[in-house]
């Protein structure tokens, strides 16, 4: 199950909602599962890595798709 992926669309949401929604979604996942989150809040580029570091989750990747950032987070 470690490669199971879940998606979260947080586009249109402003700080701190993308991180709050990611935290809630991650609570329901098993350790090692992946959450792919899309966000377009400019603050997310700082907030999401900080959240992962504080909560102990691994930020697997972070990329841009036009104005949208795509984050892949592995639950730890």
Residues involved in catalysis: 15
Q: Is 12 left (phi over 0), alpha (psi -120 to 50) or beta?
A: left
DSSP string, 17-53: HHHHHHHHHHHTSPTT-EEEEEE--TTHHHHHHHHHH
């Amino acid at each position: 199950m470690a490669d199971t992926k879940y998606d979260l669309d947080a586009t249109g949401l402003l700080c701190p909602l993308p991180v709050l929604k990611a935290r809630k979604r991650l609570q329901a996942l098993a350790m090692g599962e992946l959450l792919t989150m899309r966000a377009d809040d400019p603050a997310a580029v700082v907030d999401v890595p900080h959240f992962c570091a504080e909560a102990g989750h691994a930020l697997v990747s972070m990329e841009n798709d036009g104005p949208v950032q795509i984050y892949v987070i592995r639950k730890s």
